[in-house]
């Protein structure tokens, strides 16, 4: 099962789940950006970073590692990446490492070299099979635990999570995205089962006929079309600026308001 891909989708689309997982459910996720960052020396890439987007120097940045296979070199690599990142970027925020394991027996601690640092309050190790019952009832935590659930139990848990999502999430698009994520996890768990069969198992065939789901689907399609159109306009504006055309000429040629072209031009400058 592609656990790295699943967790990337979870944290990218539902950052509140990460902060529930580390017992910080009241964190304002609007002030964090989930991203990856390349560390040039040795071509390291930090695939899971929650970076603060405000100017609060006391707010930590989080380096997230999902480890579902035993790896004797994990902590050697992880701390090397961290300190190279600190040297290269010198962020103003304190660091915090979160390592997510399915169970404790996967971990290889290497206490001789890392015992003290692993015991510090800046390193948090989460064992999904040991999450306390007090947090297991949270919708986000349930989605994370679904990743490690055995196949047969996973179907029942997925059904329960879908019902919980329908009850707790008011926004149709967010509800649809989370239900699709739950379905994706089951698809990874049952690679020999067709999507239609999985939809039937989870009761999604009837759900997709409901008015709420259809509205969410239409909203998602509309947003997708709008995003695609903006991307096309952005590319056109960028090319025309490089050709030396004025913003007024570009606006006339693309039949766009001058204010919109000015906005796209600023986006182009930021990308460059």
Considering only residues 76 and 110, tell me which one the structure prediction assigns the higher pLDDT.
76
Under CATH, what is the fold of the domain 1-135? Answer: Trna Endonuclease; Chain: A, domain 1 (3.40.1350)
What count of other Cβ atoms lies within 10 Å of the Cβ of residue 71? 15
pTM for the structure as a whole: 0.70
Identify the pLDDT of residue 120.
94
Mean pLDDT, to the nearest integer, of 259-271? 79
What value does the mean pLDDT take over residues 195-223? Answer: 67
DSSP per-residue letters across 34-93: EEEEEETGGGEEEEEEEEE-SS-TTSPEEEEEE--S--TTHHHHHHHHHHHHHHHH--SS
- Whether residue 51 contacts residue 61, with contact meaning beta carbons closer than 8 Å, is answered with yes
In this structure, which long-range contacts are made by residues 116-121, counting pairs with CB atoms below 8 Å and at least 24 apart in sequence?
117/79, 118/75
**Higher model confidence: residue 249 or residue 104?**
104
Strands 95-101 and 61-66: parallel
Residue 170: its pLDDT value, please?
Answer: 86
From 113-122, 215-224, 226-235, the region with the lowest mean pLDDT: 215-224
**Of the listed ranges 186-200, 211-225, 248-262, the one predicted with least confidence:** 211-225
Kindly write down the DSSP assignment for every residue of 143-207, as one continuous string: HHHHTTS-HHHHHHHHHHHHHHHHHH--SHHHHHHHHHHHHHHHHHH-TTS-HHHHHHHHTHHHH
Separation of alpha carbons 182 and 202, rounded Å: 10
Torsions phi, psi of 95, nearest 5? -95, 155
Question: At CA 25, angle to CA 20 and CA 31, rounded to 5?
Answer: 105
CB count in 10 Å sphere of residue 41: 10
C-beta of residue 150 within 8 angstroms of C-beta of residue 185 = no
Q: What's the average model confidence in pLDDT over 14-23?
A: 92
**Residue in the block written with tokens 């991307």:** 231
pLDDT at 212: 54
């Amino acid at each position: 099962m592609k656990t790295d891909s699943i967790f990337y989708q979870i944290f990218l689309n539902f950052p509140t789940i990460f902060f529930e997982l580390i017992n910080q459910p009241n964190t304002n996720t609007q002030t964090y950006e989930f991203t990856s960052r390349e560390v040039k020396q040795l071509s390291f890439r930090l695939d899971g970073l929650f970076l603060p987007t405000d100017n609060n120097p006391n707010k930590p940045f989080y380096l997230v590692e999902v480890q579902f296979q035993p790896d004797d070199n994990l902590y050697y690599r992880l701390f090397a990446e961290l300190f190279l990142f600190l040297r290269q970027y010198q962020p103003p925020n304190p660091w915090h490492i979160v390592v997510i394991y399915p169970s404790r027996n996967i971990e290889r601690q290497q206490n001789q070299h890392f015992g003290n640092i692993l015991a510090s309050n800046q390193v948090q190790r989460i064992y999904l099979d040991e999450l306390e019952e007090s947090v297991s009832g949270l919708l986000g935590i349930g989605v994370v635990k679904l990743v490690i659930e055995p196949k047969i139990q996973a179907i029942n848990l997925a059904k329960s999570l879908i019902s919980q999502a329908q009850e707790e999430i008011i926004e149709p698009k967010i509800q649809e995205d989370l239900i699709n994520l739950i379905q994706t996890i089951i698809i990874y768990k049952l690679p020999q089962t067709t999507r239609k069969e999985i939809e039937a198992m989870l009761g999604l065939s009837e759900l997709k006929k409901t008015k709420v789901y259809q509205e969410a689907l239409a909203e998602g399609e509309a947003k997708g079309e709008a995003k695609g159109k903006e991307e096309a306009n952005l590319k056109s504006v960028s090319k025309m600026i490089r050709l030396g055309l004025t913003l007024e000429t570009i606006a006339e040629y693309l039949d766009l308001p001058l204010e919109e072209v000015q906005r796209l031009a600023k986006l182009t400058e930021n990308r460059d």
